[in-house]
Structure 1
Amino acid sequence: MGPGPVNAHPRVLRAMSADLLGQFDPEMTGYMNQVMALYRPIFGTQNQWTMLIDGTARAGIEAALVSLTAPGDRVLVVNFGRFGLLLTEILGRIGAVIETVEAPWGETVPLEAIAEAIARVQPKVVATIHGDTSTTMAQPLDGLGDLCRAAGALLYVDATATIGGMEIASDRWGADIVTGGLQKCLGGPSGSAPITISDAAAAHISARRHVERGIRRDDIRDGNGVRIGSNYFDLAMIMDYWSEKRLNHHTEATSMLYAARECARVMLGEGLAARYARHAAAGRAMTAGLRAMGLTVYGDDRYRMTNVTGVLIPEGVDGERVRTAMREHFEIEIGSAFGPLQGRIWRIGAMGYNAAKHKVLLTLSALEACLRSEGFSLPAGEAVTAAIATWDA
């Protein structure tokens, strides 16, 4: 019950036990086509290029950024937590010129501030996190794509922490690339990164191809005919791999493709609206229960992620002792925190297979018991009562 990874859905685990197939087996290519179709509604898109990157969620992030960005490109990062800082680190390794527009941890960046930064920076790419689990905040994205298009910039969104639990509206946002991971709200294991790529981004990526012969390292300067810095994460090559051409790029991670396919089948079977409502109810109940204990929930209520809740560790309580006690006595794991929030908050998730009423109630009961064992005084049983009352509100 932390910020991820979480327990995988049993159907996903069963799907992973199926026998292996090669990437050129007709049955396997059929599964690949199914995955592309299944993930379009999950991403909220009609993009042709909706597929998987073999690797953890960070593989999707790196594939997007290394394929969109060349050394010397100016990139604007919307930074409101630990994972905004990750984007800047990856872009720095690429050799991009990085500018940031920031908000204090626990807040999000106003659209007006992003608009001013785009006008000032004139970036080729704008990169942002949708939901940053380090702060438990979700950045509003409606209107951002319009700002990027007006400035001639491409928009990249990392939706690892929200895909499957909060609405992903790639087309409405005007996002050019959105990436995710299975291990949080989608209810799968880490190791596959769903991705969707707009026509504009696909054209930009394809334009970066070059003829292997006759190019010197000194010639690699901008996005016209530039060698992509990575072979494995070259989206132009991966698109060929997923296209009808089926050009060999790597050996497909068959079991992970089965997992990603089943994650999508489970989600679409439940229904998108029902899925998002269940995560919202779980987050609402968790927040109400924590507050009923007398604890302080972290961050701006207006922009809270539905699937991860931050809560301040009470003064005088050893946060790691409480986490250890929950793990040892109740077999429930909750998360610690990064950077300036390390030792200050717990991050409690309710996502995917674990966004269930009984699991929220068990977690709140366990936390109450462990806080009592640390000598923290709190109202008995009020957390569960508040959570039950709030679930259907």
Structure 2
Amino acid sequence: MDGIGDICRKHNCLFLVDTVASLGAAPIFMDQQNIDILYTGSQKALNAPPGTAPISFNERACQKMFNRKTKPVSYLFDMTHLSNYWGCDGKPARLYHHTGPVSGFFALRESLAILAERGLETSWKKHKEVAAYLYRGLEDLGIKLFIPDRDLRLPSVTTIAIPDGYDWRELLMYIMKNHQMEMTGGLGPSIGMVMRIGLMGYNCEKHNADMALHALADALKNCKKSKA
């Protein structure tokens, strides 16, 4: 992320960052990195049930949002309406926007309290150590990491190149059926190129990495490999 926010400031555009799988697992500094809008998901490294999506706007983004001339096509996408619901727009009148998932908010608050007690630096270190452990195990299996540069990898989600000659869908289905474990394929342009392993939050443990490695080794042994 370093430097991208500076470029956005230079060209007078907003910098929005998706930290769904990284907040709590890897260092991210909204102010220092000149991030204007940052959002995440409750169910990943924050370790809360799915259903809530924390989002943050800095002053620069708020000025842009509150001074725009056109309205969104739907109030569902209207952040000014949402900010009023949360009491963030400075207006005394509060309008109805939606019924909030109250139990989800309390669960998220507790998960954040646990993370704060543990310490962000400790969480970052744990995710990095478990990721490194997983990398070594994958390399021992002869599996290539999709991102060659270790410093550019996200510690909470590891992308591996699909082993030559294997059908990635067959590998994933075998692992789900025989090990009750869900790994996923790529997204967008990476579909058919990678498989993804997520170890984050509560699941960020070496014994879970061992389970993933065992499942992969078993799948490689028992799934058909083309001769081409």
* Residue equivalent to 2:190: 341
- Give the one of 159, 167, 173 matched to 2:33: 173
The secondary structure found in structure 1 opposite 2:185 is: coil
In structure 2, the residue matched to 1:331 is 180
Q: State the Cα distance separating 1:243 from its structure 2 match.
A: 1.8
| Uncovered stretches (5+) of structure 1, i.e. residues with no partner | 1-140, 209-224, 377-393
Matched letter for residue 242 of structure 1: W
Normalised by the size of structure 1, how large is the TM-score? 0.52
Q: For 1:369 and 1:192, how far apart are their aligned partners in 2?
A: 36
SS in 1 for 2:55: strand
Q: Which position in structure 1 is the counterpart of 2:8?
A: 148
Please point out which of 139, 144, 147 is paired with 1:299: 147
- 8 Å contact from structure 2 (residues 71, 78) kept in 1: no
Matched, 1:363 2:212: yes
1:200 aligned onto 2:60? yes
**For residue 76 of structure 2, what is the aligned residue in structure 1?**
232
Q: What does 1:190-339 correspond to in 2, within 5 Å?
A: 190-208=50-68, 225-243=69-87, 245=92, 247-248=94-95, 249-301=97-149, 302-339=151-188
Work out the CA distance in 2 between the residues paired with 1:339 and 1:179: 20
Structure 2 Cα separation of the partners of residues 341 and 146 of structure 1: 28
> Given residue 159 of structure 1, which amino acid in structure 2 is its aligned partner?
T
Cα distance between partner residues in 1 of 2:206 and 2:137: 12
What is the number of residues matched between the two proteins?
A: 220
Residue 197 of structure 1, CA deviation: 0.8
- Kindly tell me: are residues 292 and 198 of structure 1, through their superposed partners in 2, closer, same or farther at Cα, counting changes over 3 Å? same
Give the Å deviation of 1:251: 1.7
Shift of the alpha carbon at 1:179? 1.0
**Which amino acid counterpart does residue 135 of structure 2 have in structure 1?**
T
**RMSD, aligned α-carbons:** 2.0
What do residues 226-256 of structure 1 show as CA deviations (whole Å, max 9, x unaligned)? Answer: 2233312322122222127471322222122
The one-character-per-residue Cα deviations of 1:104-137 (angstroms, maximum 9, x if unpaired) are: xxxxxxxxxxxxxxxxxxxxxxxxxxxxxxxxxx
Tell me the secondary structure at the aligned position of residue 54 of structure 2: strand
Q: Among 184, 204, 211, which residue is 2:44 paired with?
A: 184
Partner Cα separation in structure 2 for residue 183 and residue 232 of structure 1: 22
Q: 2:183 touches 2:195 (CA, 8 Å); kept in 1? A: yes
Question: Quick one: which of 3, 10, 21 aligns to 1:161?
Answer: 21
Q: Name 1:127's counterpart in structure 2.
A: none
**1:232/1:338 Cα in 2 relative to 1: closer, same or farther (>3 Å)?**
closer
Q: Does 1:374 align with 2:218?
A: no
Q: Secondary structure at the match of 1:276?
A: helix
| CA apart distance, 1:349 | 1.2
Does 1 or 2 have the higher relative contact order (CA < 8 Å, sep 6+)? Answer: 1
Q: Percent identity?
A: 31
Q: Counterpart amino acid of 1:203?
A: Q
Q: CA deviation at 1:277?
A: 0.8
Q: Cα deviation per residue 1:153-179 (whole Å; 9 max; x = unaligned)?
A: 322222222112112210011111111
Which aligned pairs between 1:86-97 and structure 2 lie closer than 5 A? none
CA distance in 2, matches of 1:148, 1:322: 41
Partner Cα distance (1:263, 1:315) in 2: 40
Does structure 1 conserve the Cα–Cα contact (< 8 Å) formed by 2:37 and 2:61?
yes
Relative to the length of structure 2, the TM-score reads 0.87
Separation in 1 of the partners of 2:217 and 2:99? 48
Q: Which amino acid aligns with 2:120?
A: L
The letter of the residue matching 2:105 is: L
The offset of 1:346, in angstroms, is: 1.4
